[in-house]
Amino acid sequence: MEVEVGIGGEGRSGEWQQRLVAIEEQLVLFWNGGGDHQNVRVKKLPPLPLRFNSDGTFKILQVADMHFGNGMVTRCRDVLDSEFEYCSDLNTTRFLEKMIELEKPDFVAFTGDNIFGTSATDAAESLFRAFSPVIKSGLPWAAVLGNHDQESTMNREELMSFISLMDYSLSQTFPTAEDLYDPAKQNRVPKIDGFGNYNLRVWGAPGSHLANSTVLNLYFLDSGDRAVVDGLRTYGWIKESQLSWLRGISKEIQEQKQDIKESADTSKFSAVSPALTFFHIPIPEIKQGPVKDIVGTYQEYVACSFVNSGVLKTLVSMGDVKAVFIGHDHKNDFCGNLDGIWFCYGGGFGYHGYGVAGWPRRARIILAELGKGEKSWNGVEKIKTWKRLDGGMLNKIDEQILWERQ
């Protein structure tokens, strides 16, 4: 039995050594029976840290609502009659394989309802099958939970713990000890609500003056599943403890950026490194509107909690989040602007999830591009997005610029 450590990555700084401690401590040991140490198998990790390519790009594939069940025996929903007979969960994983092959992303973000609990008789087996294409590719990936994942044989904490221990996954059940530190109060913040709140940092291009600095942040949040408030059933929402943690992380990152600026040529640095946020259930502000500059299809009622916890207000006040990527409403695939922040649906990806017959399953791509200096790549200059439709040519639609440095 192979023993793989595979931490990867060259030239990791002390900061990343510390940030990897939490991941390394979680390396899973699978025993195939008995006590023979030769049966130990250790989790594989991609090269770290995450960083921009030498061409100044970093590409993310968003996969929303796979709704994976039991594989070949799980039938498709809402497809044309001519497609139904041979359509199953395998169409979902085949679509993921094709997207990885065509777009060659640097990172894959799964934004919840990865498995459809009531159709997944064994959560672990369904997770392995659902994520198998990205694991086989060796790409770094991360996931959050939706409102259906826990309806199988694992609760939400067990699911995130399991996902965090899968090969090449950078998912975390809880924020790292470093990310829980509040510099202002000189202590650790209390445990926050949910499972799957964490931050991933993307460094600059190799050989650039920002090669060892964070130039893009990826925030992941647990938007919950369902709740009962004053006797009324509603969807989950992002809690104040999560928002407090998010504000703290954003502030810490921006202060670190300021320290870099003060010790270098300020013309080479953006004042604030942009951030992208990923979670499953849309916020009430999208439903309330007005959502401006819509690009894409808005054909479904926004299903969200009736509890407004102030997510939009928090994101606006932070100043670094440029776009949020969500799922949940499979028939929506639009990007729309709320108070200067883009909220983008991934569109239904999985064939066992509900949809519209004849309206292809789809995936979203996010591309961040660095600015080019005289001698080196600078910080992020532009963030773009588009979608691809499953089908013969994986047609590209709705390309747009989400943010551009002024």
Distance (Å) of CA 228 to CA 21, 146, 233? 38, 17, 4
Alpha-helical regions (H) of 217-270: 240-262
Q: What CATH number was assigned to the domain covering residues 49-404?
A: 3.60.21.10
Task: Give the pLDDT confidence score for residue 23 in this predicted structure.
Answer: 39
Task: Give the pLDDT confidence score for residue 290 in this predicted structure.
Answer: 95
**Contact predicate 331/298, CB 8 Å:** no
- pLDDT digit string (tens) for the chain, length 406 residues: 232 333 333 333 444 444 444 434 434 433 344 444 455 678 999 999 999 999 999 999 999 999 999 999 999 999 999 999 999 999 999 999 999 999 999 999 999 999 998 899 999 999 999 999 999 999 999 999 999 999 999 999 999 999 999 999 999 999 976 666 555 555 555 689 999 999 999 999 999 999 999 999 999 999 999 999 999 999 999 999 999 999 999 999 888 876 555 444 445 455 689 999 999 999 999 999 999 999 999 999 999 999 999 999 999 999 999 999 999 999 999 999 999 999 999 999 999 999 999 999 999 999 999 999 888 999 999 999 999 999 889 999 999 999 999 8
Task: Give the pLDDT confidence score for residue 64 in this predicted structure.
Answer: 98
Task: Give the pLDDT confidence score for residue 117 in this predicted structure.
Answer: 83
Task: Give the pLDDT confidence score for residue 181 in this predicted structure.
Answer: 53
Task: Give the pLDDT confidence score for residue 60 in this predicted structure.
Answer: 99
- C-alpha dihedral sign at 293, 382, 311, 107: positive
Strand partners, 326: 345
Task: Give the pLDDT confidence score for residue 65 in this predicted structure.
Answer: 98
Task: Give the pLDDT confidence score for residue 404 in this predicted structure.
Answer: 97
Q: Helix, strand, coil: what percent of the chain each, to 5?
A: 25, 25, 50
Q: For residue 101, count CB atoms less than 10 angstroms from its CB and return exposed for 0-12, middle for 13-18, buried for 19 or more.
A: exposed
Task: Give the pLDDT confidence score for residue 79 in this predicted structure.
Answer: 97
Q: Where are the domains of the chain?
A: 1-48, 49-404
Q: What is the pTM of this model?
A: 0.89
Task: Give the pLDDT confidence score for residue 265 in this predicted structure.
Answer: 46
- Location of structure tokens 């959050």: 144
Task: Give the pLDDT confidence score for residue 5 in this predicted structure.
Answer: 30
- Location of structure tokens 């990806």: 349
**Contact predicate 364/323, CB 8 Å:** no
| Residues 197, 175: Cα–Cα separation, whole Å | 6
Which contacts qualify for 289-295: CB closer than 8 Å, 24 or more apart? 291/336, 291/337, 291/338, 291/343, 292/336, 292/337, 292/338, 293/336, 293/337, 294/334, 294/335, 294/336, 295/334, 295/335, 295/336, 295/398, 295/400
Task: Give the pLDDT confidence score for residue 248 in this predicted structure.
Answer: 94
Task: Give the pLDDT confidence score for residue 183 in this predicted structure.
Answer: 52
Task: Give the pLDDT confidence score for residue 126 in this predicted structure.
Answer: 97
